[in-house]
């Protein structure tokens, strides 16, 4: 391989390696609060609306009957 071709490829290799390291460092944040912990599903059956909330870290599914309650106080343990 000629020196000229090698000089063109080395900066690209370094840029690629730095990009991979940046992605690894930015996505590997441990000890942070989970983002997107809850998922909500709205089901309408015969003019009845039901709202289900699932905690994605524990798998607990509860249904909402009062919108101003915290997740721990919802029905469906």
Structural domain count of the chain: 2
What pLDDT, on the 0 to 100 scale, is given for residue 53?
86
* Per-residue model confidence (pLDDT) at position 33: 65
Domain limits for position 4:
1-31
68 has pLDDT over 80: no
Which uninterrupted H or E stretch holds 38? strand 38-45
Average pLDDT value for the chain: 80
pLDDT at residue 15 in the model: 93
42 lies in the same domain as 68: yes
pLDDT score for 18: 94
* 48 and 21 together in one domain: no
Cα distances (angstroms) measured from residue 44 to each of 11, 47, 64: 57, 6, 13
- Pair 64, 52: CB distance under 8 Å: yes
**β-strand partners of 53:** 40, 62
What confidence score (pLDDT) does residue 17 get? 94
């Amino acid at each position: 391989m000629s020196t000229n071709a090698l000089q063109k490829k080395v900066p690209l290799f370094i840029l690629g390696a730095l990009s991979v390291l940046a992605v690894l460092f930015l996505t590997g944040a441990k000890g942070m609060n989970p983002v997107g912990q809850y998922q909500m599903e709205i089901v309408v059956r015969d003019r009845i609306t039901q709202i289900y909330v699932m905690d994605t870290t524990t798998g607990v599914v509860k249904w909402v009957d009062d919108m101003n309650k915290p997740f721990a106080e919802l029905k469906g343990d």
